[in-house]
Chains A and B, each alone.
Chain A
C-alpha cells in the first residue's frame, strides 16, 4: 500500500505538489492521471525518496522508503525509461540491478524473456533502443526484485497498442496476486484501459478520485433536439442550466426524465436523450489539460 499524506513540494513561487493525500491499495491498479506538469512525476519521486517534500509524509507498506531494507526487493520503480546509461547494454542494466539486490544472474534472463527483449536486443546498447524497448527494459528493471509494490511513471508511453495490451495483462496479474500498482499517465484512455482506481491531479492538487465506475458515472443528461435553441430557452425558464456538448447536443445537470418532461410540454422534438455517461470525467480532464494543450503537443512531437 502506498500512502501519501498532506504532501507539499514547492519550487520557489511554484507549488508542484499541493497538500496531496491519497492511497494506492493492494490488489488494485491505481491510475495517477493528469496533464504534463500536474505534479505526477514530482509526487512519484517523493515516494521513492529522490525528492524531499516540504511537508507531509509518504509511506509504502507503513514504512518510509529509506527505511525499507534492499528496497528493490519490495518496491519496483520505473520513473523514466530514458534515464539509463546510453553506453550500457540492456542486459547490463539489469545485471547491475540484480547485483545490487543480490539476485542470481538467471533472474536477468527471466526478466528479459518476460518483457520480450530478445537475446540480440539485450546485447545492444541502450542508445540504440526505441522508446518502447526502453519502457520494456525499465519494466523488467522494476520487476526484477519480485516486488509487491510497483511505481511506474508513464509506463505506456512509447508502447504500441499491442504493447499496452501486454502491459495491461501483466499489471492485472500483478494486482490479482495482491500487489499494489500505481501508474501515471497523461492520457485518459490509457488509464481507463489499465486502472481500477483513478486519482486525477491538476496543478498539483487532487481534483477527483475513486474507482473507474464511480468516476465515469455522473449525474446529468445528454440531449439533442430538432430545435436546440428553443429547448435551451425552455430549460432556462424551468431553471435548468444547459451547456453545449459533443456534436450538436447539450448537457444538463438534471435527470433525463425532467428534460423529457419539459421538451414534451413545449412540444419540442428530441433526437437523443440519455444519461451523460463518462462525460463528467472526460470534461474534467479536458478542463485540466486545456491550459497544457500545447505542451502536450510538443511532448508528443518530441517523443515521435
Chain B
C-alpha cells in the first residue's frame, strides 16, 4: 500500500496518467499464450512434433524427396494445424475462463484488446514460420538427398508464409465468431473438411472448388518449385479468404464489441 495522505476529491485527477501503449498490450497477450498449461504445452508440442516429423522423414524419406521443399513441408504441417488452436484459445479464454471481466475492465476499449491479440498472433505466426525454415534448413543439411536444393524458389517462401498466416487468421476468426474454445476448435477442424468433401462430391461444384473452398485455394500455396501462383489462383485465395476468414472475423469483432461481458 502506498502511504499517500493526499485526500482524493470528488473528481479523479488523470492528468498525470498516461494511457496504455499498444506495445504493452501486445506483450501481455503474448504472455497469455504461454502462461497457462494449455498454451505452454501447445507450443512445446508444436516445437517437438516439428522436429520429430522432420527427423523421421530424414531417415525414411526417399533420396529424391529429401529436398528443402519437402523438409519445409514437414516442418510447417504441425504448425499449420496447431497455431490456429493457439489463436482460438487466445480469444476464447476471455469468455470461457471469464478473464474478460478483468481484461476489459483494465482496458475498457475492446477494439484495442482485439488489435493487440491480432498483433500477438502475427508475431507468433512469424516466429513459427522462421522456426520451420530453420528446422528445414538444418534437416536438409543433415539428411538432404542428392538433389537437396532443387524444386525450391524464393517465391515459395512468400507462398508458405501466406499459407501459415491465413490458416492462423482463420482459427482466430473462428474463435472470435464462436467465443467458446471447444466449439471453435471443432468447427475449425471439421467445417473446412466438410466443405472440401462437399465440393468434391457434388459434380456441379467440383470445377468451381477453387472459388468456394478455402482449403482448395490454399493448397496451391504448399506446392513448391512451380513458381508463383497464377492470377486466377491468387484471386481464388482472395475470394475464399474473404468468405472463410475475413467474414467470420468481422462478425466476431462486431459481436465482441457489442456483447456484454459477464
A residues near B (Cβ < 8 Å) are 1, 25-27, 45, 48-52, 60-63, 65-66, 68-74, 77, 79-80, 82-88, 92-93, 95-97, 99-102, 110, 114, 125, 141, 143, 146, 148-149, 173, 177-180
Contacts and interface: CB of A to CB of B under 8 A. Distances in A.
A1 B10 contact: yes
A104 to B, nearest CB: 13
B88 to A, nearest CB: 15
Nearest to A125: B37
Contact of A45 (B12, B32, B260): B260
Contact of B106 (A66, A100, A180): A100
A148 to B, nearest CB: 4
Of all A-B residue pairs in the complex, the 6 with the closest CB atoms, nearest first, are A61-B12, A178-B7, A83-B98, A87-B36, A62-B11, A148-B8
A143 B109 CA distance: 21
A70 B12 contact: no
A71 B108 contact: yes
Interface in B1-45: 1-2, 4-12, 14, 17-20, 24-25, 27-28, 31-32, 35-38
Given A26-B9, A68-B12, A88-B35, A79 B105 contact: yes
B6 A68 contact: no
Contacts of B18: 69-70
A83 B101 contact: yes
B10 A99 contact: no
Nearest to A72: B106
Contacts of B20: 69-70, 100-102
29 contacts: A26-B7, A26-B9, A49-B108, A50-B260, A50-B262, A66-B109, A69-B17, A70-B18, A77-B105, A80-B98, A82-B98, A83-B98, A83-B99, A84-B97, A84-B99, A85-B36, A87-B36, A95-B35, A99-B24, A99-B28, A100-B20, A100-B25, A101-B106, A125-B37, A141-B102, A143-B1, A148-B12, A173-B1, A179-B8
B57 interface: no
B10 A65 contact: no
Contacts of A86: 97
B261 interface: yes
A177 B4 contact: yes
B28 to A, nearest CB: 5
B81 interface: no
Nearest to B17: A69
B31 A99 contact: yes
Contacts of B102: 77, 83-84, 93, 97, 141
Contact of B32 (A68, A73, A96): A96
Contacts of A25: 10
Interface of B: 1-2, 4-12, 14, 17-20, 24-25, 27-28, 31-32, 35-38, 93, 97-102, 104-109, 260-262
A55 to B, nearest CB: 16
B108 to A, nearest CB: 4
A296 to B, nearest CB: 20
A114 B1 contact: yes
A141 to B, nearest CB: 7
Contact of B12 (A50, A62, A88): A62
Contact of B5 (A143, A149, A177): A177
A76 to B, nearest CB: 10
Contacts of B32: 96
A141 B4 CA distance: 19
B12 A63 contact: yes
Contact of B14 (A69, A80, A179): A69
Given A50-B261, A85-B93, A96 B35 contact: yes
B36 to A, nearest CB: 4
Nearest to A173: B1
